[in-house]
Amino acid sequence: MRSSVLSVVLCCAMTGASAWAGEEGTRLLRFPDIWQDQVVFCHGGDLWLAPAAGGTARRLTAHPGQELFPRFSPDGRWIAFTGQYDGDEQVYVVPAAGGEPTRLTWYPAEGPLPPRWGYDNQVYGWTRDGEKVLFRSLRDAGGGTDTRLYTVARTGGLPEPLPMPSSGAGDFSPDGGRVVYSPLFRDFRHWKRYQGGWAQDLYIFDLASSQVKGIAHSVRTERDPMWIGNTIYFASDRDDYLNLYAADPATGAVEQLTHYDGVDVRWPSTDNVSRIVYELGGQLHIFDVKGRSDQAIVVTVPDDGLWKRPRHVNVADKIEDFDVAPHGERAVFVARGEVFSAPIAKGPTRNLTHSSGAHDRSAVWSPDGATIAFISDAGGEDEIWLVDQAGTAPAKRLTSGHAARLSGPVWSPDSARIAFSDKDGKLFVATVADGRDVQIADHIWGAIFDYAWSPDGGHLAFSMGNPAQVSQLHIWSVADGTLRTITSEYFDATTPAWSPDGSYLFYLSNRSYAPMISDLEWNYAGDRRGGIFGLALRKDVKPLLPPESDEVKLAKDDGDEKEGKEEKKDGEDAKKKGKEGEEVTVKAAKKPVVIDFEGLAGRVVRIPVEADNYNGLVAVEGHLLFSSSGPNFYGRPNDDTHRLRMYSLEKREASDLVKAGLDGWAVSADGTKVLVQQGEKYQLLEVKKDGGEAKAVTTAGLEMDLVPSEEWAEIFDETWRRFRDFFYVPNMHGYDWKAIGDRYRALLPDVAHRSDLNYVLTEMVSELNSGHTYISGGDFQIPDRAPVGLPGARFELDPEAGRYRIASIYRGQNEEPRYRSPLTEVGVDVKVGDYVLAIDGVELEGRDNPYRLLQYKTDPVTLTVSSKPTREGAREVRYQPLASEQSLHYLDWVLGNLERVTAMTGGRVGYLHIPDMGAEGIAEFIKWYYPQLRKEGLVVDARGNGGGNVSQWILERLDNKVLGTRFGRTTELPTTYPATVFDGHLACLINETSASDGDIFPHYFRVAGLGPLIGKRTWGGVVGGGNSPLVDGGEVFVPTNATNDRDGNYIIEGHGVDPDIEVENDPASVIAGRDPQLERAVAEILAAIEREPRSLPPRPPDPVKTPSH
């Protein structure tokens, strides 16, 4: 016995490397389940069956959407799964022997969700009698973390929630009377060895008594509960990596069953008899709980490789950059990592790079018209590449030796040099003749993006931020390699643009100081402060905008006219023939630009344009081109105000080339044409008032031969490099990032679907043990999601009548589009309890599902309703449907909390909830904060806060203090100084899903001494960053900066913010309609009011100022 146990331990104590090395069969077999001698799993987005002993699999489903989470029924006849047949995720069943799937759920799924949020309607199993399917859904959630378990009959009908208020994975006890579950769901989060507040524990819930008992707890994660006999099995990473464990429900004793190191036991599932199947390093394993044996099974999937097949595709929907030829003859587009040359009017579109395995980007046309430069990772790292504009020769790499993400490139006007930068702030200039580059600057704040060459190619101007983060202009001179700072350290100067004659250097600067005034409080915000300025580069240059005066014009001397014509002739551009006889213009050399650096900063001219938000600037002959974006709003789009403008230096007036909807623009090297983007439309305009006759540029010819396996390899490598280059600490948390990349790269041959690639990427970045390591999106080719015309209400079945009726109606707030509740709108006569007999004339019977009849409804829906389950007295009502009811569910919860606090305190204490620290969060704060300023106390609820970046705005208001008061004659009530300040007592509610900036907010709430934190420990993810696009439309999110305290110490990350008063919202209380956390917050505020009453003073006696006084 002792030796057999030892052999099992040895079998299970494999390292990650050995678990993945030299395995036979197909890997990336995901979400497995087992029944007797069969296993079912997902591979390549489809479901497959294979012998439990290993062997060749057979396909069970085949569809463009994914089929996921298969689970055998207890008798093995059926397999329930989550499928995307109609675009979103719904619950289906299919005969285990094969056949047509039957759809069981119809309520629209939330999404598509990024991988870290998993999938809506995720199937977990069956009730023990095999009559119902168990699944997790967001259908009654007010946010992405509020998931719950439901069951739906195998024959269909409305799903029924299990009583637990929130839940992730779960499984029924053998007698069906209890459920082992996790109240929290984070099974897809990209964070290994996590031990913050969101770490999952397991509990047993008694369905009869609503009592809860803890069964498995550690500082890390317990997940994937399975109930076999008298034992609960689960996966936990309490020993660094996910392994199988067993727990005794009676005693709570926990035993570790597997001991894998360096690789995780993923997605275990059981036959509820004696075996557990799971994924390990992409391969399936079966663990026998009776014999305590663990065996890898080798499965070969005879997949036809549909999603890996090379295909010819149009990529016009994947354009990421563009430029225009020197005289506007053609456009260059970068789309899905390929560089294309497209005609403005006539001729073929040419794919210049044919690089399915590379991400080519940032293509720019040389001023001489002969060459296109671009950045490519074709050699494994970003480098500058060149390709002949006519496509007559393969692209060639210009630079070498770079090992960081590059930006740029920008040609010198003589086409001899190219400037480019890297993510570390280094600015380089490469010589085209030999490919050598020299570093000319190093920016302390990171990448430089705004560099421009002088007309002669002898100088490069750019901006860099100083230690105070004020951007200053700099000029580097080719001749002597000198770098000079040319603008003030006090005022921003960016986006340099040289005049064509080399006399002026124009730039943008925020130099308007009249602030916008808030209508919420007596405060200000800076916006639309930008202006355009020009530096006279020599002391002898002519005034740019001399005083105007009407004077007599004298005839010019004939000799002067001839000389002028000869000079123009000397400066004419040459022509050369391109492919198929097309003329391409070659720019002539310019006269050397001479700069008097002494006193340069003082020789400044302000261009008389109105202050605005400017974000682009180009100088052409006689004009300045610039783009503006109008006022900035948080959470309100202003894209329609983006415009392209032109200022005439002669006429001294600005006009619009593009009045609205500008998304991008590029000016030809000769300054006569500009290519503009508006949405998916591109057109070429002339640089003159009103843009001349616009020429539409077609992108229909942007086609490429896509080889998915090559593209997936590039996406993997680019993702790996993004983390190498941008992760917030260069030591990668102490991990060998190269070794991790090599380990996960070995799985690429088995990637059969874009979802498989995302899975591999998320597993790789999860190894860094960090928050905000996200992967999302990509080319999934999933069918469009079917719209469902939701009424803002809930249905219930009257079993006796066999009819559906309205169980509840969300009250809504119809003044706000977000909270529009259709059945409460004026003229819609529907009440709770009314029977819905038909939808758009189609009879709704009890054996059907009302949401099935609401599919594809976007126009007004007609309901036939009655107070009785018969047609007698029936009436027809019409409503304008919703696409989602999540906002209404959220509002209903908030209003319920507000009413509860009002009732508990007689209106003395207020309440507001902040759902995130983004657009919705700041809107909700503004909406509810100011009307409650004169309450004696305020509950600030940050539970479930999804993060963002506005916490400091909110804290600034909450931390404001009343310094004095003001009284007027017509009222006995004072106002405060400062105005609009809350002077009552505060308490903040937090829980496990208060995350990111929702972590930072309660931390600094405590630091500021605003009041107690009540609830549960928060998520603990405060290293932030931003999204970056991948070649197929996917995104990678790299944490680039950390949160630190005043002394520079790292805080919050990986642990979360502990409450001052820990309160659990236990299921029994919540089921009974209570909120213990909210109740405790109210109690704390009332106690504080009792200890320290705060109220504004009454009006003082009128002063008497007569002489006798």
What is the per-residue DSSP string for 215-244?
EE--SS-EEEEEEETTEEEEEE-TTSS-EE
What secondary structure does DSSP assign to 552-580, as a single string? Answer: PPPPPPHHHHHHHHHHHHHTPPEEEE-GG
Report whether pLDDT(22) > 70: no
Closest CA to 752 of 113, 188, 30: 30
Two tokens at 944? 């479930």
Alpha carbons 1025 and 1043: distance in angstroms, whole number: 11
Rg of the chain in Å (alpha carbons): 34
What CA–CA distances, in Å, run from 341 to 117, 355, 593?
Answer: 40, 15, 33
Secondary structure (3-state) at 491: coil
Per-residue pLDDT, 19: 54
Report whether pLDDT(1008) > 70: yes
Alpha carbons 502 and 596: distance in angstroms, whole number: 12
Each residue's pLDDT tens digit, 215-232: 989 999 999 999 999 999
> At how many degrees (to 10) do helices 997-1007 and 951-958 cross?
20
Q: What angle do CA 688, 692, 697 make, to 5 degrees?
A: 115
What secondary structure does DSSP assign to 24-90, as a single string? Answer: -S----EEEEEETTEEEEEETTEEEEEETT-EE-EE----SS-EEEEEE-TTSSEEEEEE-TTSS-E
Closest CA to 988 of 899, 1077, 894, 896: 1077
Alpha carbons 307 and 335: distance in angstroms, whole number: 20
Contacts of 571 (CB under 8 A, 6+ apart): 588
Secondary structure (3-state) at 873: coil
**Candidate from 16-20, 532-536, 597-601, 904-908 with smallest mean pLDDT:** 16-20
Mean pLDDT, residues 731-753:
97
Report whether pLDDT(5) > 80: no
Alpha carbons 863 and 850: distance in angstroms, whole number: 11
Band of the pLDDT at 144, cuts 50, 70, 90?
low
Contacts of 635 (CB under 8 A, 6+ apart): 918, 919, 920, 922, 923
Largest CA distance in the chain: 116
Report whether pLDDT(838) > 70: yes
> At how many degrees (to 10) do helices 886-905 and 1076-1091 cross?
40
How many CA atoms does the CB half-sphere of 11 hold within 13 Å?
15
Strand partners, 102: 93
Per-residue pLDDT, 635: 87
The count of other CB atoms within 10 Å of the CB of residue 455 is 22
Alpha carbons 977 and 968: distance in angstroms, whole number: 13
Per-residue pLDDT, 556: 62
Q: If you average pLDDT over every residue of the chain, what do you get?
A: 93
Report whether pLDDT(587) > 70: no
The count of other CB atoms within 10 Å of the CB of residue 151 is 17
Contact between 411 and 366 under an 8 Å Cβ cutoff? The reply is yes
Per-residue pLDDT, 23: 56
Each residue's pLDDT tens digit, 287-302: 999 999 999 999 999 9
Which residue type is seen at 147? T
Which residue type is seen at 1039? P
Per-residue pLDDT, 1108: 79
**Residue 823 DSSP label:** G
Per-residue pLDDT, 111: 85
Each residue's pLDDT tens digit, 1015-1042: 999 999 999 998 899 999 999 999 999 9
Report whether pLDDT(100) > 70: yes
Burial 700-718 (b: 16+ CB within 10 A, else e): ebbbbebebbebbbbbbbb
Report whether pLDDT(573) > 60: no
- Run of H or E residues at 881: none
CA 877 to chain centre: 39
**Residue 1103 DSSP label:** P
Per-residue pLDDT, 9: 36
**Candidate from 29-38, 359-368, 418-427, 1099-1108 with smallest mean pLDDT:** 1099-1108
Contacts of 208 (CB under 8 A, 6+ apart): 177
Which residue type is seen at 478? V
Mean pLDDT, residues 539-552:
91
Alpha carbons 667 and 665: distance in angstroms, whole number: 7
Contact between 40 and 32 under an 8 Å Cβ cutoff? The reply is yes
Mean pLDDT, residues 20-43:
89
Alpha carbons 151 and 999: distance in angstroms, whole number: 34
Two tokens at 562? 């001839």
CA 519 to chain centre: 31
Closest CA to 722 of 778, 779, 765, 771: 765
Closest CA to 753 of 65, 189, 284: 65
**Residue 816 DSSP label:** S
**Residue 1047 DSSP label:** T
pTM over 0.85: yes
* Percent of the chain scoring above 90 in pLDDT: 89
Long-range contacts of 628-632 (CB under 8 A, 24+ apart): 628/530, 630/528, 631/527, 631/528, 632/527
End-to-end CA distance of the chain: 106
Two tokens at 264? 């995780």
Contact between 689 and 302 under an 8 Å Cβ cutoff? The reply is no
Band of the pLDDT at 585, cuts 50, 70, 90?
very low
Secondary structure (3-state) at 778: coil
Two tokens at 835? 């029977």
Contact between 1005 and 994 under an 8 Å Cβ cutoff? The reply is no
Which residue would you say has higher pLDDT here, 693 or 229?
A: 229
Question: Domains in the chain and their CATH numbers?
Answer: 2-303 (2.120.10.60), 312-546+582-699 (2.130.10.10), 708-776 (3.30.750.44), 793-882 (2.30.42.10), 887-1021+1056-1091 (3.90.226.10)
What CA–CA distances, in Å, run from 385 to 272, 372, 428, 1030, 1073?
Answer: 59, 8, 15, 19, 65
Contact between 438 and 480 under an 8 Å Cβ cutoff? The reply is no
Which residue type is seen at 56? T
Alpha carbons 855 and 846: distance in angstroms, whole number: 17
